[in-house]
A and B are shown apart, each in its own frame.
Chain A
Amino acid sequence: MTADEAIVQLIAGLSRGGLYFVVAAGLTLILGAMDVVNMAHGAFYMIAAYLATVVITEFGVGAGFALAWVVVPLAVMGIAFVVERLIMRRTYGRGHFIQILTTFALLLITDDIIRTIFGTDPRTVGRINALAGSVDVLGLPVPTYNFFIMAVAAAVAIGLFWLLAKTGYGRRIRASVDDPEMLAAAGVNLQAVRLSVFMLGAGLAGIAGVVVAPSAAVQPGMDVEIIITAFAVTIIGGLGSVSGALVGALIVGIVESIGVFYIQRGSLAIIFVIMAVVLAFRPTGIFGVRRAG
């Protein structure tokens, strides 16, 4: 790999990492603030990607893409509302294993429904003209869409940091990461905070789904693929830490992009090697805090 190619791969890695960040941020918020392991996060992401392809096909590449940005995250949040009220509520405080089982079951059910509706063929949609071409970097073409993904990830990161650091709602979320009982004792409606965090997380998965739809084939199996990566990112960064998710996502994205140069089909293993190394030295992840129990 030459230096030029390395830079191109680095850019690809940053955009890949950006996508991972948007997914993992939702996952880590739900894990941190609710202590819930949510495998169904991958299902939300896949549902969003499929919905985005439907909207874009239905309304044309230009209007459809704009519309998808509004409709799809909201629709996924609506699904998350129902799932939280009907199912997830019953798993709170019952341990991670029950939650993994429950959300894995949701993953299986979603997968079956998606296959029934859309079949197993990959679906692709076009990109709007402004994002369709490529930009020359050191004489090598880099898809414009890569930069768009990075911009979206940056916007999500800034938005989340602002939300968590500057708003009262963000303070409540951070408080429920640190000590939910104390928060409830202070008179905050914990049920409402949890419901909203679950929906916020699903909304982020929804955004990621819309972002990914025009850049990759939308097909069954993408849910499991993303959830495993997102878990690795979350673990590397430290549970509940949005900064951790950002750092973890960028590390994973870049190492993966450069790694596929050397090991084909081994990207997942590279991620896990990083994870094992990080955990061997910091058993709670880079930004993780050791909690009692």
Chain B
Amino acid sequence: MERWSKFALVGIGILWAVLALAPELFDTATVRLLARMMVLGLLALSLNIMLGNTGIVSFGHGMFYGSGAYAISLFWSKQGWPALMALALTPFIAAGLAAIAGLVAFRARRLYFGLLTLAISQFGFVIAMQWYSMTQGENGIHGVELPDWLVPIEKKYWFIFGVFTVAAVLIRIIVASPFGTTLRAIRENRERVAFLGINALRYEYSAFIISGAFAGVAGGLLVILDQNSFPMLFHWTTSAEPLLMIVIGGAGSFLGPVLGAGVVVFVQDYLREVTEHINLLYGIVVLLIALGAPGGLSGIGSSLFIGGPRLLMRLVRRGAGSDEAVPKPNEPEVAKADWETPVEVTR
């Protein structure tokens, strides 16, 4: 994972402080929008443990997201459990589901793996649709009760912000650990890692479970925000959305997925009032990023901030007659940086 410079850390700190004060600074609609960005940002972050770090595409994270949401709604509607008690259980429920789904999905690789995860998630969609007595079918479960202190939007926001912060820090610790380094080593060269005596499949499976657990928490937070859950959460289009957010924000940067989620949520909310052609815009942006800027927005940003000065340096050096090769700005410098330092191996 990229190391943050002091400059970047200060920037993140300031942003964090602004977000912490958001209910004091912005109106209710904006605060609600920010909360939604964090819910989806957490979903995208969790999925990027798979996509960005392990290099595996899961099309089924809607399954964990939805299960987190339904866990709260169902425990509330069937057992009368308080929402927060159920929220504490969401990571374990989602992780358990991921452990079971992984047993099936990891029999296959690559495209087959992706489609198997999609299939399993779609299966969840049908259960949520069909099992009317349990899930109230297409209508979903509405009006989940929250404790009184959590009802005002600013309290809700702070709660979601707090959980998001803790979860993001945990994910950061996980991907920066030797475990995370091994995941990226697997992404770069699975066979070489296997030759080191590492059971790559076990690492991928663990990453899937961890990723699923955090996606479950994101689903739980969604219920805290909206107080309802509905079958579409399991649908494959829900699974595709965080993938697009990661791609737009940049899979190679830790906060890229959050950036992507923020941009997508904002643009969708803002543009819906201005134009009907959201899909056209979405399509063009994804097309341009897929073809021209695989690093996403954060990749473009870093090539402006890092690549710009580098380009200047190169021009200066050219002028001085030196022909030294300077790294290209838009290379996935994150992945490269991991290989330049020797891979740390756990156990």
Contact = CB atoms under 8 A, between A and B. Distances in A.
Chain A bound to chain B: yes
Interface of A: 37, 87, 90-91, 96-98, 100-102, 104-109, 111-113, 115-116, 228, 231-232, 235, 239, 263, 265-266, 268-269, 272-273, 275-276, 279-280, 283-284
B112 A235 contact: yes
Contacts of B240: 104
B122 A272 contact: yes
B123 A105 contact: no
A265 B129 CA distance: 8
B284 A105 contact: yes
Given A101-B247, A101-B286, A112-B279, 20 more contacts: A96-B57, A105-B287, A108-B280, A108-B286, A112-B283, A115-B276, A231-B115, A263-B130, A265-B130, A266-B129, A266-B130, A268-B125, A268-B126, A269-B122, A269-B125, A273-B119, A275-B115, A275-B119, A276-B116, A276-B123
A279 B116 contact: yes
Nearest to B103: A280
Nearest to A281: B107
Interface in B219-274: 236, 240, 244, 247
Contacts, number: 105
Given A116-B277, A263-B130, A98 B287 contact: no
Contacts of A37: 111
Contacts of A109: 279-280, 283-284, 287
Contacts of B122: 268-269, 272
B244 to A, nearest CB: 8
B294 to A, nearest CB: 7
A235 B119 CA distance: 11
B123 to A, nearest CB: 5
Which 7 pairs across A and B sit closest by C-beta, in order of nearness? Answer: A108-B283, A272-B119, A269-B126, A109-B283, A112-B280, A105-B287, A105-B286
Contacts of B285: 105
Interface of B: 57, 104, 107-112, 114-116, 118-120, 122-123, 125-126, 129-130, 236, 240, 244, 247, 276-280, 282-287, 289-291, 294
B57 A266 contact: no
A104 B286 contact: yes
B340 to A, nearest CB: 23
Contacts of A239: 111
Contacts of A102: 286-287, 290-291
B287 A280 contact: no
Contacts of A96: 57, 110-111, 114
A104 B121 CA distance: 19
B112 A269 contact: no
A236 to B, nearest CB: 10
